[in-house]
Homo-oligomer: A and B are copies of this chain.
């Protein structure tokens, strides 16, 4: 009863959907879900197709080669996965623990189908929580001088734990381009403002000073420009002049937890594709 999931991007042209759907049908697969998007600005085509492997006449290893002809014909970039693949996440966190706490609770209650073998922090605050959940906690004091060295060692640790993707659950360190590049498209951050407003530090304070009437939070893929990567999800909440910066923080943190968890779940479910610096999220 497993499903195969195929993500496709290619230049838009006639016959793509038909070719892909026919491929699945020819091998006796049953399409569970198929969504597509033609991006008018860039003339790009995006598709996510999910089919049942029950009765499908190709083995998992045979699918990609068999699809090669279609893929080549339409000049596709593809990504094939299976719904019973279990991704391995590492969570990076600094002092505020609300997002970490939330992810661990959702994981325990079955909302996130992945493994979380590793929590990395530049502070000690998260250690007890990691212990409670039986997860390896790795602490690193990070300074300007040792950052490159620390990242190198962290990367070894990530490889040792076979980490697929990284979640920055309020991790207040800027990663080096080298590190980001190694996990390109696989690092998800939560930024506590409605980007592109209030980039950088202390966004709740910035929002309070600006006198906005609504605050927001943003989950995005990390790229080399700070807080500028493709946006996966955002949400907003109303505030008033009565709200102090502390109130903004409290209200915002409720959003951060929900928005980050949505982004992580969609990433695990292979629902996100990138168009240049934007995302297509097939919901």
Contacts and interface: CB of A to CB of B under 8 A. Distances in A.
Contact of A216 (B16, B196, B236): B236
Contacts of A235: 214
Q: How many copies does the complex hold?
A: 4
A36 B48 CA distance: 12
Contact of A32 (B38, B233, B242, B250): B38
A172 interface: no
A105 interface: yes
A278 to B, nearest CB: 3
A30 B209 CA distance: 26
Contacts of A109: 97-98
Interface in A20-68: 21-22, 24-26, 28-41
A240 interface: yes
A234 B211 contact: no
Interface residues of A, number: 68
A195 interface: yes
Interface string A233-248: 1111010111010000
Contacts of A275: 211, 241
Contact of A234 (B97, B196, B212, B232): B212
Given A17-B21, A22-B21, A132-B132, A211 B230 contact: yes
A35 B241 CA distance: 12
A248 to B, nearest CB: 12
A18 interface: yes
Closest 4 CB pairs of A and B: A211-B278, A18-B25, A18-B21, A197-B197
18 contacts: A15-B25, A18-B18, A18-B26, A21-B21, A21-B22, A34-B36, A39-B241, A97-B109, A196-B197, A196-B212, A197-B197, A210-B231, A211-B279, A212-B234, A213-B234, A213-B281, A238-B238, A241-B278
